[in-house]
Amino acid sequence: MLEDSPQEEEWKRALWKKSSFPDNFVPGSFLSSLSKNPNFTPYTYWGLVVSSCAVTQHIATIFTFLTVFVRLNEGLLDPRLLVWISVGGFLTGYATWELLECSSNHNTASMTNRAKTVKSSILVFLALMSLSPVLRTLTAATSSDSIWALSASLFILNALLADYTGFRPEAQHRERLTSVLSMNAAISSGVVLASRLPSDVCVFALTLFSVQTFALFPLLRRRLQSGPTGVHIIVTIALCGSCVSFTAPVSSLAAYLVCGNFVFVTFVAPGVLVWAQRYKNEIRGTWDPAVPKVYTAGSSL
């Protein structure tokens, strides 16, 4: 092909020019604008380990919830105690949140906001209490096996869709659909598990606990995650430790599984990702849609 082409005329990348080259002529500059992995910054192992702490924390919460359920179901835990633990957890969490709000410059929480929080928490409390007799018999006609399978799949869905990014109050924040779905899956799972419990108080205690762990705690977790790394790691270790210590008395096999799970998510999975990066091959060229750079405030929606 190259030998046949007329040498006196230089090939130009122009469509408007009448050229004596055949239409399928392959110029030397063919694909010269192709670049591979142009703005690729490889992940570092320890950075990934810190990021994966969020996932570990979430899994620890799920397992803690499950052990609480098992204890309630077998009568090893007094439901009234669980209610008090939930209330105490809520108050501690809320106080931490307020402290974080005060420490950051964005002091947006006013008295009216606090009053609203108190009002809605009382409302949730009362609503759950009045609903618990209904929830107890909700799945009476369904066999327990189906409930285990259902709740397991709902928890898996919850863990897959959960939002593991840090939460910054100053950044404009929009709740993503997946994180809402994730929360709903976990709450539904809590409800179907609660419907297996023997008494109304148990049902109430477990649903309240599920709201605490799956609706409110993730907010605090994400808030802490965007804070200093040390706090993040300490919270992770505390959560994992408490989760294992709760699980071990119920079933030692489950405790080993949970430990293995934590090690895999925190230490093995980041290693696998770092290793897999060698296969990354991102192709960029002039055909890619350009990213517009717009500076005027307000015009970028």
Partner 1 sequence: MLEYRLTVKDRMVCDFFHPNAGGVENHIYMLSANLIRRGHKVIAITHSHPPDRVGIRWLLPALKVYYLPFPTIASSATLPNFLTFLPYLRTIVLREGVEIIHAHASLSSLAHEGLLHAHLMGVRTVFTDHSLFGFDDAASILTNKLLEAALRNVDAVICVSHTGRENTVLRARLLPQTVHVIPNALVADQFKPMPTIRSNDNERNTVTIVVISRLAHRKGIDLLVATAPRICALFPNVKFVIGGDGPKLIDLLQMREKYMLQDRIEMLGPVQHSDVRDVLVRGSIFINTSLTESFGIAILEAACAGLYVVATRVGGVPEILPEDMISFANPDEDDVVRAMSEAIDIVTANKHDPIRAHERVRSFYNWCDVAERTEKVYDTVMQQEPYDFWTRLRRTLQLGQFAGPIFAIILIVDCLFFVFLEWWIPRDDIDKVEMHWNQDDFVEVWMFILICSFRTDQCI
Question: Which residues bind to partner 1, rule: CB under 8 A?
Answer: 1, 13-17, 23-24, 26, 30-31, 33-34, 282-283, 285-296, 298-301
Tokens 């405030």 identify what position? 297
Give the residue among 149, 155, 197, 178 at the shortest CA–CA distance from 60. 155
Q: Alpha-carbon distance 112 to 149, whole Å?
A: 43
Residues 6+ apart with CB under 8 A from 135: 191, 194, 195, 203, 207
How far apart are CB 9 and partner 1 at their closest, in Å? Answer: 16
Closer to partner 1 at the Cβ: 171 or 291? 291
The phi and psi torsions of 253 (rounded to 5 degrees) equal -60, -45
- Residue 253, CA atoms < 13 Å, CB-side half-sphere: 0
Maximum Cα–Cα distance across the chain = 94
Name the residue nearer to partner 1 (CB basis): 37 or 92: 37
Q: How far is the CB of 31 from partner 1 (least distance, A)?
A: 5
Nearest to partner 1 of 25, 125 (CB atom):
25
Nearer to partner 1, 25 or 267 (CB): 25
CA 61 to chain centre: 12
Closest approach of partner 1 to the CB of residue 43, in Å = 18
Alpha-carbon distance of 94 to 92, in angstroms, equals 5
CB of 111 or CB of 294, closer to partner 1:
294
Report, in Å, the least distance between residue 100 CB and partner 1.
35
Whole-number minimum distance, CB 165 to partner 1, in Å?
Answer: 20
